[in-house]
A = this chain, B = another copy of it.
Amino acid sequence: MTTRGPSLRADARRNREAILDAASELFARRGESVQMDEIAERAGLGVGTLYRHFADKQALRAAIIGRRFEAMTSLARSAEQIEDPWTAFETLLYGYLESAQPDAAFRFALLGPQEPSWGEIDAEKTAFAAIVERVVQRAIDAGHLRTDFQASDFVLITRGAMANMTGREDWRRHLTLQLEGIRAADR
């Protein structure tokens, strides 16, 4: 998926990038409602070209989401490098949410019912989850998180916060409240 190989003419590759960029931008800002013609125009291309690169709208959307997940994984990877377990955890959590905030398409993809055919994304998702697992475990071992905290709770927390990304910065308040319920009892 990533290194698609050499067999792609130079202009084709350039256009593919342009499409991805334009679509990212628009999907991020307006979510579901953007239409193919708009994306084409913003990319400075014809609609036909979009369909040369992606089977249908759904496939394009999936590619975008996949891209974002790759970014999330690399974010997680760098957070994992941080020495202090709690700082690592917080960095991951805030980094994840702050990346999600401006991307309505991504948030919606996670909050709405999951589509079928997102098989490829699931793989990336798993990679991300594995890193979260480790960061969480480290925070628990260091005595910063409740011992009964699960990696799956990370998902609950983040979904909760994302649900409150409506215009304002309410989600930060919500996250703070949630963190209180998550920390180890002794402080």
Contact = CB atoms under 8 A, between A and B. Distances in A.
Interface residues of A, number: 23
Interface stretch (A84-92, A130-138, A178-186): A178-186
A156 B177 contact: yes
A163 B160 CA distance: 6
Interface string A100-138: 000000000001010000000000000000000000000
A163 B166 contact: no
A156 B166 contact: no
A173 interface: yes
Interface of A: 31, 111, 113, 152-153, 156-157, 159-164, 166, 170, 173-174, 177-182
